[in-house]
Amino acid sequence: MPIPDTDPIIVAPTPMPLRADDSIDHDKLARNVERWLDTDLSGFVVITYGGEELHFGEPDKLAAVKTVAAAHKGQKFVIAGIDTPSPTEAVRLANLYADAGADMVRVRIPGAARGGRAASGPVQYYEEVTKGSPVPVVVIHQPRASLEPDATPEQIGEITALDNVFAYIISLNYRWEARIPQFIAPGVKLWTCNGSIVLPGGMFGANGACLFFGNWGPGLVKRVLELSLDGKFEEANRIQQSMTHADYLGMTLGVAALKSGLNMLGYEATVPRKPTQPLTSDQENELRAAFVECGLLEG
C-alpha cells in the first residue's frame, strides 16, 4: 500500500501474542492484523514499547515485521521501531526491516550526551540515518526525563527538513512541544503520542497520532483529530473525555493493560512476556468499565 497522504493517520504499537513457551504466536498475530484491517487504524508500528521491544531479540523482531507485512495484504503499512544511539546500527536495521517488509522506520532521538559521553548531536545522527535508510523515517522524541529534551526546537526543525523524513512524533512534554510546530518542515507530519492528549495535540497542529490507545479505539482517535482539524473542539472534547479513563489505565498498567483490553475486544493478544504479570481481576474490571465509558464495549 502507498504511504497515506490523507490526514489524520493513526498508527499504534502492535503487541505480540505469545505461545505457552513465551515465543511469538505468529498465527494469532496474523489474525489480529486481519481484524485491524476493518478498523480506522492506518498502520502498524512493530516491535516498539507496546510490542515489548526490550523483551525480544533481532530474529523475533524481523519475523514479526514479516508476519505483519504479509497479513495486512497491502491494505495498511508497517513501521518498524529502531532505538539505538549508533547511526550505523540504525541504518543496518533500517535495511533489514525494509527487506522484511517495513514501509517506514520509526527512529528515536538518541538521549542527549551526559557524563562525558561523546556525541555528534541529533542533526548529524539523522543526516546519516536518513541518507542510509531505504524507507522514510519517522522521528520520535521520548526523553527519559520529560523536562530534559534530547534536541532543541531548532535542531528538530533541521532534522525534519532532511530528505526522507515522513513524520515527527512529539513527546509528552506539551509545554515544550507547543513550540515545535513552527519549526517542523513543510510536508512533514506532526503526530501526537498519547490517548489522553489527542485533543491538545490537535489544537496545536497535530494531524496524526502514534499511540497505545490506537490499538483499542483508532476510530475514536481519528474522530477527535478530524474534529480538531475542523475547529470543532467542543465536540472533540466530549470524545476525548470519554477516552481518558481507559488511556490512564493503559499508561499506568502498561502492556498488561494493552493486551487485556484487546482480549476483551475479541483480539488474541494473550498475556505479557515474562516477567511482566497480567492484570488482576480488579484491574480488568476497571478497564472493562472504562471501555464501556468510551463506547468500546456495551454496558
| 2-54 pLDDT per residue, tens | 677 789 999 999 999 999 999 999 999 999 999 999 999 999 999 887 667 78
Task: Find the largest Cα–Cα distance for the chain.
Answer: 56
Q: Categorise residue 18: left if φ over 0, alpha if ψ from -120 to 50, beta otherwise.
A: beta
The yes/no answer on whether domain 9-232 falls in CATH 3.40.50.1360 is no
Nearest to 151 by CA among 170, 128, 129, 130: 170
Contacts of 148 (CB under 8 A, 6+ apart): 112
Which pLDDT tens digit goes with each residue over 172-185?
888 899 999 999 99
Domain ranges of the chain: 9-232
Q: State the amino acid at position 32 in one-letter form.
A: N
Contacts of 296 (CB under 8 A, 6+ apart): 216, 217, 220, 246, 265
Task: Tell me the pairing of strands 9-14 and 189-192.
Answer: unpaired
The three-point CA angle 240-248-238 to 5° equals 15
Which pLDDT tens digit goes with each residue over 197-236?
999 999 989 999 999 999 999 999 999 999 999 999 999 9
Q: Report the pLDDT value the prediction gives residue 255, as an integer from 0 to 100.
A: 94
Residue 48 grid coordinates: 516498539
C-beta separation of 38 from 289 below 8 A? no
